[in-house]
Structure 1
Amino acid sequence: MNEAAAFLVARAEVLAAWHAHLTDARRRSPHTVRAYMATAGRVMDALEAYDWAALARVDTAGLRHFLAERREDGIANISVARELSALRGFLSFAREKAGMVKPAPPRLRGPRIKRGIPRPITPDEATDLADLVAVNARDDWQGLRDRAVLLLLYGAGLRIAEALSLTGADWPMGDRLTITGKRSKQRVIAILPAVREAIAAYLAACPYPVERDKALFRTVKGAALYQSAVQKAVADARGMLGLPDTATPHALRHSFATHLLGAGADLRSIQELLGHASLSSTQVYTRVDAAVLLDAYRNAHPRAED
């Protein structure tokens, strides 16, 4: 075996081990696994480090060199920060594999990220969006399906991946449902009657039977509904409604939290409903609520600009 072939074999073995670690030991989401795998492959190729020993020798200068190249590719600060987070995990894993007693990766400060606030939509806009997506669908049952998914995001605060991961075993639903979210963390959410009725209407019209081990939301061919299909349907409908590009499926989850806060719910309760690991992730909605109130004040008060 020549040197180039040996490098390719070593690279494949490293990536296979990293993939297994992310999926089995860390139980990361498929999206995170894809992103972390891509970062691992990029840094190995950029630094020509194709085995555990070579990766264990990567130092701060090497990381700076890699991130500088990524900057030249035109990626933004937030992407650099995500790349650096993935690198830290990958290099720690590589150092453990290389037998290092202290596997902590080289220290490198990431870029400062100006954290924006989520952009919710109003309750009327949320329901209008769900209704128009249903009208735009090719078949009635698909429209009922898409409307049910969007009402789950808005009415229960689910992530789109969480909604689409539901199976026939989750039906019928009562007023509570246990959801498995990020990092396999479980939480109990409330299911509003309107949401439950929307799901029931979809299932009554769906040409596929409810099966415990199959996805609750199906495509035309009976497979599990995928995120991009929902995202495209929302993108088409928001253009017709004149909503901004920020009116995405995930914005419905933001709207759920913001409207709960505005109705008087406490942050701890919202944190539990959203499945946030840290309260700091939920506190961002206090900024949203204040911004919404300020906009309302400026629009309604005759001397708001004085």
Structure 2
Amino acid sequence: MITLYRYKEEFLQHLDAMRGYSALTIRSYDDAINEMLEHAEIFVEGDTFSINLMPLRVRIAPLKPKSISAKLSAVRSFVKFLRTRGLDVEMNGDESVRVPKTLPKPVAHEHIRSAIEGAEPAAGLAITLLYTLGLRISELGGLRLCDITPQWCRVRGKGAKERDVPVPGAALEALGRYLAAFSPKEYVFEAEGRKLSENSLRYMITKRFAEIGIKVTPHQLRHAYATELLNNGARIADVSELLGHSSMATTQIYTKLGNALKMDHYLKSHPLCQYREDSE
């Protein structure tokens, strides 16, 4: 289907230029659409494209529900784009997959502080910014020096949306130590005058946590940021805005995480709960 492949390239350019998606996200869309074009049944009847996704659904059935849902979502976005370009597209077999909501694994403040202490300036700054500004790894990689002032940080998030996040003293101190050791020109994190890749930042962060004996992903630091704010009385609407969520429903998962942590602490602390567990 040469025509659809041609539109695919235009769609990916649209995700980059108009939606502001990261290279990693665009690659996942590319993979999902290529898989659809290769395995779905696609018929052309007159001016109408008919896409039957059932063969694709059979192929990806062994995957986790979340992965299946992500692939189908990418295909739906592509089909929606085709329709905006005037194509008549019918699609079958695109029913949603029920994805169980999972709580993000929490990272204790003590572990994060241990990772920051003794870290090299670049790793220390990266961890500090993720934890104190609630950034996504793509947002951290795209952070420019001019985005940070003594009070605020201008963050460019998903879909080219911008938000302002308060900058605490700990972040400014970490930035000062970093700038004393490095001289970036435009982006906060650079290598040979170019923006440091997300994979390089991710490796730097996970390596530092591995050095203190624990496994932590950059996104868990964003989770820790949100959880700490909500557990200490911040309004969910404010936290949602600081995280750059388009809906507060997304932020509410962190309130569930807080409740789960409280329950865990309760069961470990209350003497009757301890007695019950010991007796079982």
| Structure-1 separation of matches of 2:87 and 2:122 | 51
Distance 1:282 1:195, change over 3 A: same
Counterpart of 2:7? 14
Counterpart of 2:116? 130
Q: Would you say 1:218 and 2:190 are equivalent positions?
A: yes
Counterpart of 2:170? 194
- Cα RMSD (Å): 2.5
| Equivalent AA in structure 2 for residue 46 of structure 1 | H
| TM-score of the aligned structures, taking structure 2 as reference length | 0.88
| Structure-2 separation of matches of 1:201 and 1:37 | 40
| TM-score of the aligned structures, taking structure 1 as reference length | 0.81
Q: Would you say 1:160 and 2:146 are equivalent positions?
A: no
Q: Would you say 1:111 and 2:97 are equivalent positions?
A: yes
| Equivalent AA in structure 2 for residue 192 of structure 1 | P
Between the aligned residues of both structures, percent identity stands at: 27
Counterpart of 2:56? 66
Counterpart of 2:147? 170
Distance 1:114 1:65, change over 3 A: same
Q: Is contact 2:123-2:205 (8 Å) kept?
A: no
CA-to-partner distance for each residue in 1:154-209, whole Å, 9 max, x for gaps?
011111211221113225x2111221111111111010011111011101110x3x
Distance 1:304 1:115, change over 3 A: same
DSSP-derived class of the 2:117 partner: helix
Q: Would you say 1:46 and 2:39 are equivalent positions?
A: yes
Distance 1:27 1:170, change over 3 A: closer
Counterparts of residues 248-263 of structure 1 (less than 5 Å): 248-263=217-232
Unmatched 5+ stretches in structure 2: none
DSSP-derived class of the 2:271 partner: coil
Find 1:35's aligned residue among 28, 39, 54: 28
Q: Would you say 1:242 and 2:213 are equivalent positions?
A: yes
| Structure-1 separation of matches of 2:43 and 2:206 | 42
Counterpart of 2:251? 282
Counterpart of 2:72? 84
Number of aligned residue pairs = 275
| Structure-1 separation of matches of 2:12 and 2:213 | 42
- Higher strand fraction (1 or 2): 2
How far off its partner does 1:240 sit? 3.9
Q: Is contact 1:52-1:97 (8 Å) kept?
A: no
Q: Is contact 2:103-2:257 (8 Å) kept?
A: yes
Comparing 18-27 and 162-171, the one that deviates more: 18-27
Q: Is contact 2:154-2:162 (8 Å) kept?
A: yes
| Structure-1 separation of matches of 2:85 and 2:50 | 12
